[in-house]
Copies of this chain bind each other. A is one copy, B any other.
């Protein structure tokens, strides 16, 4: 079948833009034994993709030029030459920025059938997918929150951050978010149930952000789930309690290559902090427990999330650039069908 896809056309030297992508049309190859053809209904856009666009040392191979951008997808099986899959099955995988993909369905981690009777298909790309498990692993396994502690998370209205705060609340913690703009902050507190949320756009220097954090987290911070880096991380570090834990999940503030030092690393020593950089794919053994809690939470309505949906593959690049600038609100998806 005809398959439209978006490939990486050039690597950004500074900020990423739509000019770094190119739309192409190709034919899907015929199925070999063991393969499945999936029509993608939803494409997930996530901040980690920005880091893959760069060359150099990272936790993964750089995205190759001229190939379809990597990315999580949710869709429906159209044709199958694998015994475990039949046309009509709803599946999630890593099909990339394209309308369809042909995959070796038996390979580990490539494709997973999902039950859409109580959880919407798109949620398997968000709260019940990679972002949700990222939140769960970082909070539950790395921060190890105890009831009564304060957990701070930035990008708090996003797919990861919003889940972090709700899981922290469920564990008896004070959940404090940082997000961009009054609408996102209101959502984080009123809809997601965080105890407080700081609008970083209203606090653009250290002293102002620190004062806001002191008001929102008067007992200091015990657990920090870090998605952003830069000034926010510097301020958060200065408010960490002794023996605090930091799950370092992302540093979106620095993905364009600007310097983003930690200004006062001695705080890591004096407060005896533990910091763990992580990527969720290193923690495969945690996925079943995480997905069980996340799936149950979405199914019964306790675990809330919000989506921003772009329509059509051709709009994926602009939606992705918007995500990097914080113009999305909640999980950024592209609806393909």
Residues of A at under 8 Å CB distance from B? 51, 57-59, 229, 233, 242-243, 248-251, 254, 259-279, 282
Q: Are B270 and A59 in contact (CB-based, < 8 A)? A: yes
Give CA–CA (A249, B265) in the complex, Å. Answer: 12
A265/B261 in contact, CB under 8 A: yes
- 24 residue pairs of the A-B complex, CB under 8 angstroms, read A57-B267, A57-B271, A58-B270, A59-B271, A233-B265, A243-B282, A248-B269, A249-B269, A251-B265, A251-B266, A261-B261, A261-B263, A261-B264, A269-B277, A269-B279, A270-B277, A272-B277, A272-B278, A272-B282, A273-B275, A273-B276, A273-B277, A274-B275, A275-B276
| Interchain CB contact under 8 A, A269 and B250 | yes
On whether the beta carbons of B272 and A59 are closer than 8 Å, the reply is: yes
Cα(A274)–Cα(B282), bound, Å: 14
CB pair A57 B270 closer than 8 Å: yes
Do the beta carbons of B277 and A276 come within 8 Å of each other? no
Besides A251-B265, A261-B262, A269-B279, 18 other CB < 8 A contacts? A57-B267, A59-B242, A229-B265, A243-B282, A248-B268, A249-B269, A251-B266, A260-B266, A261-B264, A261-B265, A262-B262, A262-B265, A268-B275, A270-B277, A271-B277, A272-B276, A272-B279, A273-B277
Residues of B with C-beta under 8 A to A275: 268, 273-276
Neighbouring B residues of A229 by C-beta, 8 Å: 265-266
Whether A254 contacts B268 in the complex (CB less than 8 A), given A242-B59, A261-B261, A277-B273, comes out as no
User: How many angstroms from the CA of A262 to the CA of B260 in the assembled complex?
Assistant: 9
Please give, as numbers and ranges, the residues of chain B lying within 8 Å of A233 by CB-CB distance.
Answer: 265
Q: How far is the CA of A251 from the CA of B269 in the complex (A)?
A: 8
When distances are taken between beta carbons in the complex, the residues of chain B under 8 Å from A260 are 265-266
Q: How far is the CB of A146 from chain B (nearest CB, A)?
A: 17
**With the chains together, A250 CA to B266 CA distance in Å?**
8
CB neighbours (8 Å) of A242 from chain B are 59
Q: Is A59 touching B251 in the complex (CB atoms < 8 A)?
A: no
Least distance between A192 CB and chain B CB atoms (Å): 25
| Complex contact A266–B254 (CB within 8 A) | yes
Report the minimal beta-carbon distance from A286 to chain B, rounded to whole angstroms. Answer: 14
Q: Which residue of B lies closest to A244 (CB)?
A: B277
Task: Identify the 4 closest CB pairs spanning chains A and B, nearest first.
Answer: A261-B261, A269-B277, A262-B262, A268-B277
Which residue of chain B is the closest to A60 with respect to CB atoms? B270
Across the interface, do A263 and B259 meet the contact criterion of CB distance under 8 Å?
yes
Contacts of A276 in B (CB 8 A): 272-275
Task: List B contacts of A267 (CB < 8 A).
Answer: 57
Residues from chain B with a CB closer than 8 A to the CB of A58 are 270
In the bound complex, how far is the Cα of B259 from the Cα of A136, in angstroms?
35
CB-CB under 8 A from A264, the residues of chain B are 261
Which of A233, A248, A254, A265 is most buried by chain B, counting CB atoms within 10 A of its CB?
A265
Complex Cα spacing A207 to B251, Å: 25
Q: Could you tell me the distance in whole angstroms from the C-beta of A60 to the nearest C-beta in chain B?
A: 9
The CA-CA distance from A260 to B278 in the complex, in Å, is: 25
Contact A59 B277 (CB under 8 A): no
* Beta-carbon nearest neighbor of A51 in chain B: B270
